[in-house]
Amino acid sequence: MLAQRVPFKAMGSPCELHLQAESQERLDAVASAAIAEVARLEAKYSRYRDDSFASRINASAGDPAGLEVDPETASLLDYADLAWQQSGGLFDISSGVLRRVWRLRTGRVPEPAEIEALRPLIGWGKVRWLRPHVVLPFAGMELDFGGYVKEYAADRVAELCRAQGLRHGLVDLGGDLAVVGPHPDGSPWRVGIRHPRAAEGAIASVALFAGGIATSGDYERCMLVDGKRYAHILNPRTGWPVAGLASVSVAASHCLVAGTASTIAMLKGGRAGPAWLDRLGLPSLRVDVDGNVSGSLANCTHPGDSQPYAA
């Protein structure tokens, strides 16, 4: 059995495939197909590309006829609708317009009036979604797939690998992980959960035989202004960054579910987020802004500095 590690960059993140197969020819073919699938999804749903389908949807804002979407996009919108409902409106893919004023690289905190000016454009409940037609009723509204398309891509690649005959592997798209299958001897993949306040450290390790794991946090895309941390995860109700939790990691049957749950927990905050995860019964690890650790994954052993994979 041959093993191959394939690093590449996509969706603004360093990515890796860890694949095991009987021949180099099979490994190369599957790796090429997997990378092409990630590139396809990035081209289709990137908000940074004027030619993406996501940009076409957003360009239709204000048109009462809306736009007809393909089955894949329809499934993603169905999922966004379900997540919006189950999160009490906190997981809202219409809130991406807030990035117009929250430009973290500038180090500038927007004025409250700037945020308030955008709030009429936010609200999945305002979107008319009648499959396969989506209507953004107000000019300037946007849908942002960036909050969950990377996790969806990780699951898609894992499925593609299995469809091509691979039974052993791990997909890592910028820390969003999906398992193709365990090692040939049946042993799990050991996944390190990154410490939110130690860039090169890990706070725990998890054994994954199947499914996926994802982490949301306030540490990778953020800015510090006058000693206060402003995260990239923005509350659609207030227009302001989340507070209370430094990071949340969730393991689930699919990376998409794990990523959505971790984001919702961050949005719910320091007390409500962990309580919500506990009610769901999903394995999780939460670290609050004071460094307190909780969750069923908190009892995992510390992996040390040599841990090769990190969520």
In this structure, what CATH number is given to the domain that contains residue 160?
Answer: 3.10.520.10
Q: Is the pLDDT of residue 101 over 80?
A: yes
The partner residues of 195 in beta bridges, in order of sequence, read: 198
Does 154 share its domain with 135? no
What kind and span of H or E run contains 37? helix 24-45
Q: What is the pLDDT of residue 198?
A: 81
Domain that holds residue 204: 195-311
Q: Which of 52-56, 155-159, 194-198 has the lowest mean pLDDT?
A: 194-198
Does 139 share its domain with 161? no
Does 37 share its domain with 168? yes
d(CA 194, CA 82): 29
pTM: 0.94
Does 119 share its domain with 36? no
Q: Both ends of the chain: CA-CA distance in Å?
A: 26
| CA nearest to 283, candidates 226, 227, 214 | 214
Q: Is the pLDDT of residue 307 over 70?
A: no
Does 240 share its domain with 267? yes
* Mean model confidence pLDDT for the chain: 94
Does 131 share its domain with 25? no
What kind and span of H or E run contains 246? strand 245-252
Does 158 share its domain with 133? no
Q: What is the pLDDT of residue 305?
A: 39
Among 79, 112, 143, where does a domain finish?
143
Please report, for the domain that includes residue 87, its CATH number: 1.10.3980.10
Does 204 share its domain with 311? yes
Does 121 share its domain with 237? no
How big is the CA angle at 310 (ends 193 and 73), to the nearest 5 degrees? 105
d(CA 185, CA 203): 27
- Whether the bond into 274 is cis, omega within 30 of 0: no
> For the chain, what is the domain count?
3
| CA nearest to 69, candidates 103, 45, 102 | 45
d(CA 5, CA 15): 10
Q: What is the pLDDT of residue 80?
A: 98
284 near 204, Cβ under 8 Å?
no
Distances (CA, A) of 115 to 81, 97, 269: 24, 10, 20
